[in-house]
């Protein structure tokens, strides 16, 4: 048996030093703007997710445990321990199916990092500038680690949101707690023994996929706090011969993932989801919506629909009979049928009634998903065969919201209002938008008050 040698590059310490020293002033203006947009986007998902089943179930469990009142839950507006606030609010955020995605890492960093940063920031009364810097640091570490181990990590059955997101949440929390480079490396070492999440839930649509984000947020906060309390973790947790890279991926490339480190920020490579689904279904939804609008098609006149997509999508996202909400989110046929029903892509949470809607279910057998090796990983070509004999099709190689064509501030604000409309009145929603837009001057406490007020106003 051959034992792999540790990588020569001390990447754990390198990432820890960067994260601990990153200041708001170090961020380019465009990166600050991107961080602000992703923060508002995550908050919108978190607020509406606070009304959902998963967030309420997690809250019931947390209330049975008790804990010091340190940060507010977005479900019942009552405080809980900071680690449990990160947990519940992470589940709320990720449960909606509209949060961000870092495609090069295969992870959804916002579901892990935003709740951790907001919970610790509320507890520590952090400044707005520090919240943004901590968030950017968390995305950086999540992105770099995810790039290093992909695609082998996911092929082995790991869910990068739960695994890589734990490191990002630890860095975000540690940055707000003032960990220096050595302490941050130790916190990453602790996080490495917490990083978990298995993709088996992808097959049956169970809720552990949502749990992964909440647990990553919680574990990240815990790792940083454990380090402060005197626990230590290996400062070679990533690159060591028994470290995270070796243990969770058959192949990885540290140098390729780190080649532009310090010159480009991973948060700038993050994509938005302007409508419901997973990142593998967005192009299909967008193509279907485009055809309905541009060709003035009456959905009742559509016969068969064929979607050509990357082989990975054809394998993972072709479920024509989803039985849970999570399975529906991952189902490309379901998302196309959803567009046909509503005439456009959807920007709100779904419920059990939507999943079982006969107007959607009747469409599913007519939607065929085929593999096309020439299609980009997140692209899709949708063809609609009309009952009058016509045939129309549209291809989206890169969905709107991706890092190549990200949502602008006005787009994110529009999505926020559409998404959060059931939660608060217009004034309270505008107050949240203003608190994020002016975070550096308004401060973290103003944002916390605005978040609580929008829920009270509903």
Looking at 380, 396, 412, the residue that finishes a domain is 396
pLDDT at residue 458, rounded to an integer: 63
In a domain, 306, yes or no: yes
In a domain, 439, yes or no: no
DSSP 345: -
In a domain, 175, yes or no: yes
Please report the DSSP string for 374-391 in residue order: TS-TT-EEEEEEETTS-E
CA distances from 435 to 9, 442, 449 (A): 41, 6, 9
- Collapsing DSSP states into helix, strand and coil, what is residue 349? coil
Q: What's the rounded Cα separation, in Å, for the pair 240 and 52?
A: 41
- Are residues 264 and 293 part of one domain? no
pLDDT at residue 348, rounded to an integer: 56
**Residues 272-315: tens digit of each pLDDT:** 988 788 889 999 999 999 999 888 888 889 999 999 999 999 99
Residue 2: pLDDT band with limits 50, 70, 90: very low
- Are residues 304 and 190 part of one domain? no
- Are residues 297 and 207 part of one domain? no
In a domain, 5, yes or no: no
Q: Considering just the CA atoms, what is the radius of gyration of the chain in Å?
A: 21
- Model confidence at 7: pLDDT above 70: no
DSSP 22: -
- Are residues 286 and 260 part of one domain? no
For residues 191 and 327, the model is more confident at 191
- Are residues 209 and 323 part of one domain? no
- Are residues 140 and 193 part of one domain? yes
Alpha helices in 376-438 (DSSP H): 409-420, 426-437
pLDDT at residue 346, rounded to an integer: 58
Q: What is the CATH number of the domain that holds 387?
A: 3.30.1330.120
Nearest C-alpha neighbor of 404 from the set 239, 296, 270: 270
The alpha carbon of residue 189 and the mean position of all alpha carbons in its chain are separated, in whole angstroms, by: 23
Q: Could you tell me what percent of the chain has a pLDDT over 70? A: 96
pLDDT at residue 369, rounded to an integer: 97
Residue 323: pLDDT band with limits 50, 70, 90: confident
In a domain, 364, yes or no: yes
Mean pLDDT of 240-245: 96
**Residues 125-155: tens digit of each pLDDT:** 999 999 999 999 999 999 999 999 988 998 8
Mean pLDDT of 157-176: 97
Alpha helices in 343-406 (DSSP H): 352-355, 358-361
pLDDT at residue 28, rounded to an integer: 97
In a domain, 84, yes or no: yes
Q: What is the CATH number of the domain that holds 172?
A: 1.10.4100.10
- Model confidence at 4: pLDDT above 70: no
Query: Poorest-confidence range of 59-68, 348-357, 400-409, 433-442?
Result: 348-357
- Model confidence at 120: pLDDT above 90: yes
- Are residues 192 and 248 part of one domain? yes
State the residue for tokens 């009742």.
Answer: 300
- Are residues 293 and 231 part of one domain? no
- Are residues 252 and 195 part of one domain? yes
**Residues 370-424: tens digit of each pLDDT:** 999 999 999 999 999 999 999 999 999 988 898 888 899 999 999 999 889 888 8
Looking at 396, 428, 447, the residue that finishes a domain is 396
Query: What is the number of domains present in the chain?
Result: 2
Ramachandran angles phi, psi of 367, nearest 5°: -110, 115
Looking at 225, 248, 269, the residue that finishes a domain is 269
Cβ atoms of 302 and 384 closer than 8 Å: yes
Mean pLDDT of 233-260: 94
**Residues 198-218: tens digit of each pLDDT:** 988 876 778 899 999 999 999
- Model confidence at 3: pLDDT above 50: no
pLDDT at residue 164, rounded to an integer: 98
- Are residues 369 and 302 part of one domain? yes
pLDDT at residue 435, rounded to an integer: 97
- For the chain, give the mean pLDDT: 92
Cβ atoms of 39 and 114 closer than 8 Å: yes
Structural domain boundaries enclosing 191: 11-269
Q: Tell me the pTM.
A: 0.90
State how beta strands 391-396 and 367-371 pair.
unpaired
In a domain, 443, yes or no: no
Mean pLDDT of 96-109: 92
In a domain, 436, yes or no: no
- Model confidence at 431: pLDDT above 90: yes
Cβ atoms of 45 and 174 closer than 8 Å: no
- Are residues 260 and 317 part of one domain? no
Query: Poorest-confidence range of 3-12, 177-186, 391-400?
Result: 3-12
pLDDT at residue 455, rounded to an integer: 80
Q: Which helix (H) or strand (E) holds 72?
A: strand 71-72
- Are residues 215 and 158 part of one domain? yes
pLDDT at residue 1, rounded to an integer: 28
- Model confidence at 124: pLDDT above 50: yes
């Amino acid at each position: 048996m051959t034992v792999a040698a540790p990588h020569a590059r001390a990447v754990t310490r390198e990432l820890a030093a960067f994260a601990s020293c990153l200041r708001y002033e170090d961020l380019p203006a465009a990166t600050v703007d991107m961080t602000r947009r992703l923060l508002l986007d995550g908050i919108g998902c978190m607020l509406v997710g606070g009304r959902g089943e998963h967030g309420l179930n997690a809250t019931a469990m947390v209330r049975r445990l008790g804990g010091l009142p340190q940060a507010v839950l977005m479900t019942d507006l009552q405080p809980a321990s900071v680690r449990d606030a990160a947990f519940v609010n992470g589940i709320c955020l990720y449960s909606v199916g509209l949060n961000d995605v870092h495609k090069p890492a295969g992870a959804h960093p916002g579901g892990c990092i935003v709740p951790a940063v907001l919970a610790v920031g509320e507890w520590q009364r952090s400044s707005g500038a520090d919240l943004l810097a901590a968030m950017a640091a968390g995305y950086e570490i999540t992105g770099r680690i995810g790039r290093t181990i992909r695609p082998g990590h996911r092929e082995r059955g790991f869910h990068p949101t739960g695994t890589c997101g734990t490191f990002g949440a630890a860095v975000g929390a540690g940055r707000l707690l003032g960990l220096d480079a050595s302490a941050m490396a130790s916190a990453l070492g602790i996080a490495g023994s917490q990083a978990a999440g298995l993709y088996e839930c992808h097959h049956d649509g169970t809720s552990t996929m949502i749990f992964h984000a909440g647990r990553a947020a919680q574990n990240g906060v815990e790792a940083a706090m454990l380090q402060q309390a005197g626990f230590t973790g290996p400062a070679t947790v990533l690159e060591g011969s028994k470290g995270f890279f070796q243990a969770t991926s058959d192949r990885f490339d540290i140098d390729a993932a780190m080649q532009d480190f310090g010159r480009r920020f991973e948060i700038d490579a993050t994509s938005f989801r302007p409508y419901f689904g997973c990142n593998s279904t967005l192009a299909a939804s967008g193509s279907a919506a485009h055809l309905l609008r541009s060709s003035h098609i009456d959905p009742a006149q559509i016969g068969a629909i064929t979607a050509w997509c990357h082989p990975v999508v054809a394998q993972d996202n072709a479920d024509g009979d989803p039985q849970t909400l999570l399975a529906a989110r991952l189902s490309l046929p379901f998302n196309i049928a959803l567009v046909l029903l509503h005439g456009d892509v959807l920007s709100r949470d779904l419920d059990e009634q939507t999943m079982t809607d006969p107007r959607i279910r009747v469409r599913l057998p007519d939607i065929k998903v085929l593999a096309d090796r020439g299609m980009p990983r997140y692209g899709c070509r949708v063809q609609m065969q009309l009952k009058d004999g016509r045939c129309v099709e549209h291809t989206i190689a890169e969905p709107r919201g991706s890092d190549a064509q990200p949502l602008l501030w006005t787009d994110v604000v529009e999505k926020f209002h559409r998404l959060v409309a059931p939660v608060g009145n217009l004034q309270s929603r505008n107050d949240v938008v203003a608190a994020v837009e002016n975070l550096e001057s308004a401060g973290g406490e103003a944002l916390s008050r605005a978040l609580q007020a929008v829920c009270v106003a509903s």
